[in-house]
Amino acid sequence: MSTRADEAYGQHGVSWVDRFGVWLSQRAIRRHFSGGAKLDVLELGCGYRASLLVALRDRLRRGVGVDFQIDPAVRDIAPLEFFEGPIEETLPKLADASFDVVMLISVLEHLSAPLTVLESARRLLKPGGLLLINVPTWRGKFFLEFSAFRLGLSPKVEMDDHKMYYDKRDLWPLLIRAGFKPSRIALSYHKFGLNLFAAAHRQNV
């Protein structure tokens, strides 16, 4: 029986519900890629097909994805590169202040030590760099579990691996403890309040 630790998101396909959710997340993310300069971007928990990095590749100078397993079909797509394995084991291999953007999209809720990962994400950002986070809310918990456990429209293994749900009062203190300043954090609910989106800039040195 597979477990979340054995596979990356989307490795065995995704439902229309999940595809719709990914599309909504991409809409929120693309607003932060509206400038002309190409960026160095890291996505922690990029998924088996790295669909977000692939979709953004024209905006990237360098795109790095991390997940348990990566589809061989995306490995040769420039300018992408990948690390296979747990996020926590990969982070020490990445250089300080080397990314313009770090993304944790529907990933933080799966982590046993979210604060440690957020601290590492801040370390990896260049001064003024941007951390983007999408997490399910406590309101979303009911709908996600109903979709997975009762309707079978989302992978049950994903929901069983959730360790936390987040509202603003949950995520904001974590970002502060990770070293982000209140004036540099923006939090907003989206997907009908089922998800929380965060954009936090690392302070300029």
Band of pLDDT at residue 2, cut at 50, 70 and 90 = very low
* Residue 35 clears pLDDT 80, i.e. is over it: no
* Residue 20 clears pLDDT 90, i.e. is over it: no
* Residue 12 clears pLDDT 60, i.e. is over it: no
- Contacts of 195 by beta carbon, 8 Å cutoff, 6+ apart: 21, 24, 25, 134, 135, 136, 137, 140, 189
pLDDT tens per residue across span 121-142: 999 999 999 999 999 999 999 9
Task: Determine the average pLDDT of the residues in 17-39.
Answer: 72
pLDDT tens per residue across span 69-86: 999 999 999 999 999 999
Q: Is the pTM of this model over 0.75?
A: yes
Task: Assign 3-class secondary structure to the chain.
Answer: CCCHHHCCCCCCCCCHHHHHHHHHHHHHHHHHHCCCCCEEEEEECCCCCCHHHHHCHHHEEEEEEEECCCCHHHCCCCCEEEEECCHHHHHHHCCCCCEEEEEEECCHHHCCCHHHHHHHHHHHEEEEEEEEEEEECHHHHHHHHHHHHHCCCCCHHHHHCCCCCCCHHHHHHHHHHCCCCHHHEEEEEECCCCEEEEEEECCCC
Give the C-alpha separation, 135 to 43, whole Å. Answer: 14
**Could you tell me which of 152, 57, 53, 68 has the C-alpha nearest to residue 110?**
68
What the chain holds in terms of domains, given with CATH numbers, is 4-201 (3.40.50.150)
